[in-house]
Amino acid sequence: MTIRETEEYKNMNHYDACAFAEGFASEEPTREQLAASWQYIYDTGLYQTLQGWYGRNVRDLLDAGLIEE
């Protein structure tokens, strides 16, 4: 199963993706939620409209094979 096929990804939105990625969510994200949030940030292009930290993390995660192009 790919990240895009998970329930965590299917239920993701801009706010939750940023909350999980930056660590300000009301709960500690699971590994699945964290992966889904970064995949969502990449897929939607959200990283291009936010601070550079997002773009650098997306690039590193892509290079490491932790999220998919």
Q: Where are the domains of the chain?
A: 3-64
Residues 6+ apart with CB under 8 A from 48: 55
pLDDT (tens, 9 = 90+) of the chain, 69 residues, equals: 999 999 999 999 999 999 999 999 988 999 999 999 999 999 999 999 999 999 999 999 999 999 999
Cα–Cα distance for residue pair 9/23, rounded to 1 Å: 17
Supply the pLDDT for residue 26: 86
Residues 6+ apart with CB under 8 A from 3: 9, 35, 36, 39, 67, 68
